[in-house]
Structure 1
């Protein structure tokens, strides 16, 4: 058995502060918190954690996502081929520490494509970027 974790899907200032002070994870959804809003929201969670003498990195960052696989991208978040999805999700991981993505889909083809193509590509991109960052710091 393990300790249960409390994840909050918070968006407002007061709940973001509660998340930073008490929660084990923060789980916003892309339809309610677009990727460009995550930076400011993350800063509020982190500030509240720091104020409560918690390590902000101890708060797991998750993100509910939905999108559409397509042959071409129109620049919209998660609309395009798997490579576009991987690039956009890796960016969220690197910028905001998002470690888990939950795909809202009941379509077997979408789930298989996400698990088989997108997730491995995100891991690879993030791993490569972190390796380059470590090497740059040690030079």
Structure 2
């Protein structure tokens, strides 16, 4: 019975650390500087959901995920991206800590991640954005 107690203690410790690890968000992996969104080159953007936007800068397409719901981003006139305070990637959005996006009617929303996506995924998300926009547009 004495050998069973240490084994049980070990099993409980492992289970507790697994639960704690499951509650922690995955580490950020910002894009490399060359792949970041250059805010001066954005030529298309769509709000897909309260936490998701897509952005295009010429041939590059991006999926931008927000940390929280930001339902007012879908209202015109446009999105305003702000890079982190570090100044390293001034004018670029890479998915780093401190980056935000806002609109005229939405306070700044923290960006959780930015990833490159292909044309097919961008087009699919554009279709999803049409449905979200029409259901989220205020009555005039």
The TM-score, its normalising length taken from structure 2, stands at 0.23
CA radius of gyration, larger in = 2
- Larger RCO: 1 or 2 (CA < 8 Å, sep 6+): 2
Higher helix share: 1
The TM-score, its normalising length taken from structure 1, stands at 0.23
